[in-house]
Amino acid sequence: MAGSISTSRLLSSPSYSGSDSLSFLATQKPFRCYPFQSRSPSRSPFPSFLIRSGIRELRERIDSVKNTQKITEAMKLVAAARVRRAQEAVIKCRPFNETLVGILHSINQSAQLEDIDFPLSIIRPVKRVALVVVTGDKGLCGGFNNSVIKKASLRIQELKQRGIDCVVISVGKKGNSYFSRRDEIDVDKCIQGGGVFPTVKEAQVIADDVFSLFVSEEVDKVELVYTKFVSLVKSDPVIHTLLPLSMKGESCDANGECVDAMEDEMFRLTSKDGKLAVERTRIEIEKPEISPLMQFEQDPVQILDAMMPLYLNSQILRALQESLASELASRMSAMSNATDNAVELKKNLTTAYNRARQAKITGELLEIVAGVEALRES
């Protein structure tokens, strides 16, 4: 067997002694792995690799793997207990948010027909965009944070290629540590989560900053970059337009070209010159129609002024909840895989430890037998 120690070969060697055999085992480089080749093609090798190391090092590493397994299993159980509550919060808030957005679009459309201007619905030529990037506060959750940061980086690069400036509002420790090290990215504010689950107070802090940037015309468009929760095994990073309050596809730059992200509007693949191309089209959203006979008791602008804070808070809170649910689901999956790997590694290390211990005992027995035979011959 490859990697095994032949005791008979050591005994037949003229320079063999018991202390030499033990020193030979102890001087092997620890934790080296050698490929296992089975002599019989029908025999399944187990383990798939052999670990050559000293007995003490193997024992220490087995204990280390056991402790790691306890930690990953505990983190998996904690994430599984929290993801259920986060999932329920996401599912419950979606109908309210969708209905609120539809009503606001209808009221805004009625106000535009009456030539009433509302500050948060004014469509200006986009020269600067604010990106609210939502990441996690902790790691050990697979590729969750990397996917969101990569999505935001690609969006920033796309806007810069169009000649549009970007400013980032980072939410989460992982995003803060990434964007703070990038001198080429303008960061307006870094916000850290304060509790176990997102609250209205945390969303209010982000909404106030977004509102001040848009009303003061420092930015012409605000986008949310977060991870949308699909299921316990799937989550997708998405881009969602927060301001201005307008239909998708209406935000354009100074040249009249649409600056919405591909994920934020409807597009379809077509054939152009024998190659696949992407065509941008506006989304026709079925929104609740307001009866023309309906009369507002208050001015539509006052109604929008009262509802816009609720709109901003609800949309940002929804993004925080979706991101948290995706983070917990990703952490639960990552810790489950880590626990399975720890179990498999512990099994392989235990097999290697037992083989090394058996080889040591066999060597000592052979030394005793050789000593007895030498005494008899003398």
Q: Which two tokens stand for residue 83?
A: 């993801």
Choose among 121, 123, 130, 126: nearest CA to 101: 121
Compute and round to an integer the Cα radius of gyration of the chain: 32
Active-site residue, from 33, 93, 141, 258: 141
Torsion 206-207-212-214 (CA) sign: positive
- 141 annotated active-site: yes
* Measured distance CA(287)–CA(285) in Å, rounded: 6
**How many Cβ atoms from other residues are within 10 Å of residue 220's Cβ?**
23
Q: Taking a C-beta distance cutoff of 8 angstroms, is the pair 154, 133 a contact?
A: no
Cα end-to-end distance, the chain, whole Å: 37
* Measured distance CA(119)–CA(107) in Å, rounded: 14
List Cβ neighbours of 326 (8 Å cut-off, separation of 6 or more): 144, 227, 228, 229, 235
List Cβ neighbours of 137 (8 Å cut-off, separation of 6 or more): 172, 173, 174, 192, 193
Q: Which two tokens stand for residue 64?
A: 């280390």
* Measured distance CA(361)–CA(102) in Å, rounded: 78
DSSP letters, 348-367, are: HHHHHHHHHHHHHHHHHHHH
Helix (H/G/I), strand (E/B), else coil: 15: coil
Catalytic positions, please? 141
